[in-house]
Each structure stands twice: as structure tokens, then as C-alpha cells.
Amino acid sequence: MFGLFNKNKEEKSLILKSPIVGRCFDISEIPDEVFSSKMLGDGIGFESTDGVLYAPVDGEILQVFPTKHALILKSKKGIEILLHIGIDTVEMKGEGFEAFTEKGKQVKAGDKLLTFDNKLIKAKAKTNLSVLVVTNNDIIESFKFNLGNVDKSNEVIVIKFKE
């Protein structure tokens, strides 16, 4: 009987795991107004220690930017997630980035999506601080954030859907 309640609760929420090994923090700390003001949506800021971006949830890759500094992932429950490495990294034209996925590919939480050279980003871009942004906030009732030092197994965002 209690399993029915848990299943119903699961259908109305979604858990996102950390996209990195490192530190997750409030998105308002990102030194870019587009992200820090939540213009594109709510989410988290993160700083990777190993230069690897992992899938935060099972889903499909909608887009890998040609410069490999960002990608868009759609969860099986319809949440669209922008993962963006660094600020002004588009100017690096792909230097220091490698993609391990492509548009249309199905991924599982924890799959390696991109690698990036943190030292190079720090030298050539505004910052290596990065973001995970949920872009379709209209279907979301609330977010719960679990911030701090993380690895790819940590749950960093719990999303509750609107009824």
C-alpha cells in the first residue's frame, strides 16, 4: 500500500545528480547576469575539480554546441537542462573541450558528456564557474537544492512538478 504513495510522489518529482566532481553553489554567485538573475531559468552554479561533465539525469541530448562548451539535455520527464561550462568560453571556439556525446543520443545519469581543460578556461575565459539551468520552469512548482562539495552520485536538485 505504501508503495503506491511513493510511486505517485516519484511521478511528481525529479532528482538531478551532480554534473561534476567539485562544488555546487547558488546560481546567484555566477559572474554573468544572464545566469545569476535566472533569466534563462533556475538552477545551480558549479566548479569542477576534474574537468569532466556528467549527465545529471537519464534523458536525450537535444544539442551539443559546436564549440563544445555547452549542451542541452531533455529528461524523460520533459525537463530541459542547459549545462554551460565557464563564462565567455564560446570565445575559445572549442579549444580545450571534448564531447563524448551527440544530438539524439540517449544518456544515463552519470554518463560522461564532455571534458574540459580547467587551467585553459581560467587562462582564456572570464571564469571556469559553470551552470546547470532548467529552462522550462513553467512546469515546475519548486526546487530543492543540496549544495556543497559533491561528486556525480550526489543529488543536487529535487524538482517538484506542478499538479
- Catalytic residue positions, numbered: 84
Question: In which residue are the cell numbers 539535455 written?
Answer: 73
Cα 28 to Cα 96: distance, rounded to the nearest angstrom: 26
CB-based burial of residue 96 (10 Å sphere; 0-12 exposed, 13-18 middle, 19+ buried)? buried
Q: 131 near 77, Cβ under 8 Å?
A: no
Q: 75 near 59, Cβ under 8 Å?
A: yes
Q: 108 near 58, Cβ under 8 Å?
A: yes
**Burial 64-79, CB ≥16 within 10 A → b, else e:** bbebbbbbbbbbebeb
